[in-house]
């Protein structure tokens, strides 16, 4: 559990969150998103990376950050977090509100190396523009890096994701297995060349294949 404010914290996703996450995704992307989006060709039938699936939970009755005092604002430490934090068991959720979700999927880069597809990320409309999205992004990206991943891909607005280091430059020689608006196909590499040296089509993670971070 990682506190964002006295009333909100990041914690790993649990099975009991499934319905609420589905509702957040329906509200953000529509119930027909699986038919419309090429990224679902890489997600369908593949489990998200469990260690990178997080939610933001607000304690019961907690107001939004925009209505709260100075103490309730996201700290610069939480927004800038890079190092992985130990995650304690989930707090009791009775009456609490799950207000945001982020998940990542494993993918195969053209060379056969493991990659990560970031998303979906969604924040409850009532809690948007309060820094939750940025906190979830920064926290989970730090966790991914600590697990040993050297790059990430996503489809989204560069005006938002650019602030986290994503750009179009490293995906120029890559394609997704279906149509996508090219300017929204973004990547980030922590190891030089992890994406920019790749060329070809991104493929689905094979069923049963061990995720790279499980290898010792
Ligand atoms: C996109 C999303 C995850 C951001 O989370 P959030 O908690 O609302 O965002 P933050 O508080 O961290 O950041 C707010 C900033 O992001 C900007 N922003 C939000 N969505 C944006 C978008 N699609 N494109 C560009 N900028 C965006 C806001 O204008 C604001 O800018 P500012 O910092 O200059 O004021 C959230 O708004 C959301 O779930 N939206 C609906 C689903 C969605 O569109 N997801 C994918 C986007 S491609």
Q: Please tell me the residue having the least CA distance from ligand 1 atom 20.
A: 160
Domain locations along the chain: 2-83+95-206
Q: How far is the CA of 25 from the centre of ligand 1 (A)?
A: 14
CA 126 to ligand 1 centroid distance, Å = 12
Q: Read off the pLDDT band of 118 (50, 70, 90).
A: very high
Index of the ligand 1 atom closest to the CA of residue 157: 48
What is the C-alpha to C-alpha distance for residues 8 and 138, in angstroms, rounded to an integer? 16
Instruction: Average the pLDDT over 136-155 and give the result.
Output: 96
Q: Name which of 3-12, 21-30, 39-48, 111-120 the model is least confident about.
A: 3-12
Instruction: Report residues whose beta carbon is within 6 angstroms of any ligand 1 atom.
Output: 28, 121-123, 128-134, 156-157, 159-160
CA angle 75, 15, 137 (to 5 degrees): 30
Closest by CA to 43, choosing from 176, 140, 137, 135, is 176
Q: Which atom of ligand 1 approaches the CA of 184 most closely? A: 48
The residues near 69 (Cβ < 8 Å, ≥ 6 apart) are none
pTM of the model: 0.87
- Give the C-alpha separation, 203 to 107, whole Å: 6
* Annotation: CATH topology of 2-83+95-206: Aminopeptidase (3.40.630)
Residue range 100-113: average pLDDT? 97
Quickly state the pLDDT bin for 33 (edges 50, 70, 90). Answer: confident
């Amino acid at each position: 559990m990682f506190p964002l404010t006295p009333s909100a914290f990041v914690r790993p996703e649990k099975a009991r969150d499934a319905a609420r996450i589905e509702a957040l995704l329906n509200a953000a992307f529509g119930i027909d998103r699986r038919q419309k989006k090429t990224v679902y060709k890489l997600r369908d039938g593949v489990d998200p990376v469990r260690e990178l699936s997080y939610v933001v939970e607000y304690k019961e009755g907690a107001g939004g950050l925009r209505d709260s005092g100075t103490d309730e604002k996201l700290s610069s430490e939480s927004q800038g977090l890079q190092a992985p934090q130990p995650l304690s068991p989930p707090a009791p959720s009775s009456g609490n509100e799950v207000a945001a979700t982020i998940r990542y999927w494993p993918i195969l880069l053209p060379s056969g190396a493991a990659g990560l597809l970031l998303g979906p990320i969604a924040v409850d409309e009532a809690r948007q523009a309060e820094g939750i999205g940025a906190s979830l992004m920064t926290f989970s990206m730090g966790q991914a890096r600590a697990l040993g991943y050297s790059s990430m891909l996503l489809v989204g607005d560069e005006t938002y994701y650019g602030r986290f280091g994503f750009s179009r430059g490293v995906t120029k020689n890559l394609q997704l297995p279906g149509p996508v608006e090219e300017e929204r196909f973004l990547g980030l590499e922590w190891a030089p060349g992890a994406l920019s040296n790749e060329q070809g089509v991104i493929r689905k993670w094979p069923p049963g294949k061990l995720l790279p971070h499980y290898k010792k």
